Amino acid sequence: MPSIDDELSPLQLNRFQHLRHFLTIEGLSRKHLTDILDTADTFIEVGSRSIKKVPLLRGKTVANLFFEASTRTRTTFELAAKRLSADVLNINITTSATSKGESLSDMLRNLEAMAVDMFVVRHAQSGAPHFIAKSVTPRVSVINAGDGRHAHPTQAMLDMLTIRQHKHKFEGLKVAIVGDILHSRVARSQIQALNLLGAEEVRVIAPDTLLPPYVDQFGVKVFSSMKEGMRDVDVVIMLRLQKERMEGALLPSEQEFFRLYGLSQDKLALAKPDAIVMHPGPINRGVEIESAVADGPQSVILNQVTNGIAVRMAVMSMAMSGQIAELTADEEVA
Amino acid sequence: MTSLIDVDAAMRDMVEKLKLLCAERNIDKPALVGIHTGGVWVARRLQSLLGWDGPVGELDISFYRDDFTRIGLNPKVKASSLPFETEGRDVVLVDDVIMSGRTIRAAMNELFDFGRPASILLVALMDVGGRDLPIQPDVVGASRRLESNQRVKLLGPDPLAVELREKTGSS
Amino acid sequence: MSGRILIKGGRIIDPSQSLDTQSDLYIADGEVVAIGAAPADFNADMMIEAAGSWVTPGLVDLCAYLREPGYEHKASIASESLAAVKGGFTTLCCPPATSPVNDTAAVTNLIYDQALTAGKAKILPIGALTKGLAGEQLSEMHALREAGCVGVSNLRYPFRDNQVMKRCLEYACSQDITIFVCPEDYALAKDGCVHEGATSGLLGLSGIPAIAETMAVAQWLILAEETEARIHLGQLSCAKSVELVADAKRRGLKVTCDVALANLIYTDAVIKDFNPAFHVRPPLRREEDRKALLKGVNDGVIDAICSHHQPHESAAKLAPFAETRSGMSVIELVLPQIIALTTSGELRLDAAMRALTTGPAQVLELSTGSLQIGSAADVALIDPTEKWLVTESNLVSKGKNCPWLDTEVVGLAYKTIVEGRVVYDRALMME
């Protein structure tokens, strides 16, 4: 069977195997992930100073290209870039304006001509950041801020940082991810990250209609009931449920979903007593999670938000660093 | 391994000079801040020799370097830790080796992001010349001129020794 | 120029007469007149020294998109029929996905006219099964047939309901016209762009499950059995589909089928990096499906291998995966890729050649695709060992969306003859 580009180094790494884009967790090593977490830790320290800003990306320009609206994610990326002293350009593009590939390419060429150094991309189509990373010049790094159902690697890494802060290590941890796995880019990236970092067991709990085909090949244990799936877990990650799921005959109603899969106090009691509860937000209270749990002592949802800025600062500075190293190496070869 | 300089003797010398300087400027119990990694070792040694108490601050200046756009981020970046208020405080900034002065510029920029210190004294175990910036240490343990292919590196933390390294090939 | 041609000393491979022998082939007045000994009074106007070459019937393609009329920014009949003869093809069927849709004799006539002007491969249009491919009203199948359509198809467009589908079969049967089916359940395939499996799950792309095809195959076979219509199932991609067709053939149904080149070579694993070159429909499926398709060709259950050539302008592939257009520009690469599959042992040479010549010709109920005495002299002269690098500039097709760009392949047609006329000569092209 002929193979295509098997020999090429992965798109998101430079020749030294360091990040030069950040597109997905897949294909990275445990060291890549721990480097991101360690660097993020140093940025958490920066966030606690009176002046929460370092000059690392001074003179660099970061463009937030949001083809899909998301105020929260865009805001944390913007804050992260600004705390690195980069100039930030926010570009909200309705998909209709760029439904033709050609105009997307044209737009990218225009931004490159303005010497933008980094694109933070949110797109409704899986693989859009890959497409952009393949088509940009070597002077641009691409950060995936969520693409279709594919990946949301910065969200997964901020979740990993949150877990590490509370549990200190991944070995021996049992983690349950609950809800709409099928449509969740966050879940895909979390599963990959947890497996890479050595979590003992990653569980997904959902009805079959909300599970991707062949989900068992992701390295997870599949449960359709909370009663079994929640037993003895150290970490519970609740996913967001979109309202439109009722229309495609995937679920009967929000009420039934909450009864079966919503995180209530009594279901949480099945987990370990010191289990932490996470949610990528925004929360649908009473659909995915009961308010008493979301605001309860085991919830670390607000830590996740704080960590989001640090992780994004880490990833942006590492990708920029990888870009610089690659350019320098190119010059030396030339 | 033989050290390029007698570190213990240099340290004792630095302690005396620093005490004198502080007395001269009416500085009492300043905050010691070392620059990661060698500067922290020197700062800790100074602290024990001076008999001052309180923690030693640590600065990792990776995020403040002026050569990021040429060499990228230090992959082993550590969190800076200043476990005390620096606003209005007298600070003694300690590094192992001073050369171009760029590290000190970065460290001072970072220090100011934690608060506005009342004053900064600069201490270096070794001055090897080759300055690019108008920055001079207030206290120096030893001075040496280096050839263009030579570098020095502090080994530590215990014992502390200075190693001379010659670069082979072009830089 | 359609004079007398002697093709001397080649390895003549003609599955229509189970022939694989080193011999001489004689052509006169556009027909094959002899193999072996020269007929009396044969004076060759042209002698082609073919030692070391394969001499085969010109290849027959049941599905090649030529994009004309309507999509000339992608390709034209002139550009693609030249690409076809460069690939060793002498007969092509083009689906009705033109603009306007080929649902009238006027469009069919236009395609014939353009093909004649181009003067390369023979082009046989397939007409629309329903008006505008809308799945609601019957097209004028008789008129289309009279104009020269070799079959009718609704491609992957849905029917309003099963009643329409059944009536299409009944009417086609009464007009003795073959329905070219692309079996795919519209609702199950909707929005999908890759095989629904581990890769689609990992990449977060919407999948087309295997049952979207197998359920449709089963449904078409039941309807064909009921109506006694003749159907051809195009571009099967699933192991189960091959099984269903094999069973139907055993029961004596008038059913034939083909497989697209890409599904014989790749599985969905190749999409790992969102490479839109591999966005095809039907999608690339699992290794067990690929193996079953290869076995289907080797066993003869699958009658034909089609190129499923779909040239595109470059912008069609410059977008996130799901937004790109499906299809590959491959008609010039069928021969080298099939040669690679025979070299690796996955396909038997005789089975592969049958599926490229007499197999598809029989689906069309044509005597073409054969070197029997008296058949049209459609011949490909193939150098099975020559290595060449695939580049945008040496692809004749206007569509450069070829997955093998910048790779080296082995084997090519160096001369292609249609009805005794040399329509492609590599030596002349290289000048």
What digits encode the pLDDT tens for the residues B134-148? 999 999 999 998 888
Cα C34 to Cα C6, C15, C370: the distances in Å are: 10, 16, 13
Same domain, residue pair C226 and C278? yes
**Which residue ranges does chain A devote to CATH 3.40.50.1370?**
30-151+306-325, 153-300
**CATH class given for the domain over A30-151+306-325:** alpha beta
Cβ(C159)–Cβ(C130) under 8 Å?
yes
Q: How confident is the model at residue A29 (pLDDT cuts 50, 70, 90)?
A: very high
- Structural domain that includes position C199: 58-363
Q: Which of C363, C385, C419 is the last residue of a domain?
A: C363
For residue A96, pLDDT over 60 is answered with no
Q: Answer yes or no: are the C-beta atoms of C375 and C30 closer than 8 Å.
A: no
What pLDDT, on a 0 to 100 scale, did the predictor assign at position A107? Answer: 84
What string of H, E and C letters represents the secondary structure of B22-68? HHHCCCCCCEEEEECCHHHHHHHHHHHHHCCCCCCEEECHHHHCCCH
Q: Is there a single domain that holds both residue C208 and residue C289?
A: yes
Rg (CA), chain C: 21
Confidence of residue A97 (pLDDT cuts 50, 70, 90): low
Q: What is the pLDDT of residues B58-104, one digit of tens each?
A: 999 989 988 887 777 877 888 889 999 889 999 999 999 999 999 99
Helix (H, G, I), strand (E, B) or coil at C258: strand
**What region, left, alpha or beta, does residue B29 occupy, with left being phi > 0 and alpha being psi -120 to 50 degrees?**
left
**pTM > 0.95:** no
Inter-residue contact A276 to A167 (CB < 8 Å): yes
Provide the token pair at C92: 């092509």
Cα angle value B99/B104/B107 (rounded, 5°): 150
Mean per-residue pLDDT, C217-244: 96
Domain co-membership, C127 together with C40: no
> Cα(A74)–Cα(A129) distance, rounded to whole angstroms?
15
ipTM of the complex: 0.88
The DSSP secondary structure of A266-280, one letter per residue, reads HHHTTS-TT-EEE--
> Across residues A219-246, what is the average pLDDT?
91
Q: What is the pLDDT of residue A102?
A: 55
Q: Is residue C370 part of a domain?
A: no
Amino acid B29: pLDDT: 85
Average pLDDT, chain B: 90
Q: Decide if C322 contacts C190 (C-beta within 8 A).
A: no
- What is the per-residue pLDDT for C430? 59
Residue A1 has pLDDT above 60, yes or no: no
Residue A305 pLDDT > 70, yes or no? yes
Taking contacts as CB-CB distances below 8 angstroms, the residues of chain A near C315 are: 100-102, 105
Query: Which of A18, A31, A46, A54 should we substitute to test contact with B (largest number of B Cβ atoms within 10 Å)?
Result: A54
pLDDT score recorded for residue A4: 39
- Given an 8 Å threshold on Cβ–Cβ distance, is C204 in contact with A214? no
Work out the end-to-end distance of chain A between its first and last CA atoms, rounded to an integer number of angstroms.
36
How many Cα atoms are found within 13 Å in the side-chain-facing hemisphere of C15?
A: 23
Q: What is the pLDDT of residue B77?
A: 84
Answer yes or no: do A49 and B63 touch at CB < 8 A.
no
pLDDT by residue (tens digit) across A37-93? 999 999 998 988 888 899 999 999 999 999 888 888 999 999 999 999 999 998 877
Residues of B in contact with A55 (CB under 8 A): 63-64, 109
Claim to verify: residue C109 and residue C204 sit in the same structural domain:
yes
State how far the alpha carbon of C236 is from the alpha carbons of A95, C257, C278, C302, in Å: 34, 7, 17, 9
Residue C95 has pLDDT above 70, yes or no: yes
Q: How confident is the model over C343-359, as pLDDT tens digits?
A: 999 999 999 999 999 99
Q: Under CATH, domain A153-300 is a member of which superfamily?
A: Aspartate/ornithine carbamoyltransferase (3.40.50.1370)
Residue where one domain finishes, among candidates C313, C332, C363: C363
Helices (H) and strands (E) counted in chain A, each on its own, are 11, 9
Cβ of A64: how many Cβ atoms within 10 Å?
23
Q: Which of C294, C266, C290 is nearest to C280 (CA)?
A: C266
C299 with C384, same domain?
A: no
**Alpha-carbon distance B36 to C344, whole Å?**
60
The pLDDT value given to residue C54: 98
Nearest beta carbon to residue A127 from set C274, C340, C404: C274
| B70 contact residues in A (CB cutoff 8 A) | 324, 328
How many CB atoms within 10 Å of residue A110?
A: 10
Q: Which domains does chain B have, with CATH numbers?
A: 7-68+81-166 (3.40.50.2020)
* AA letter at C399: G
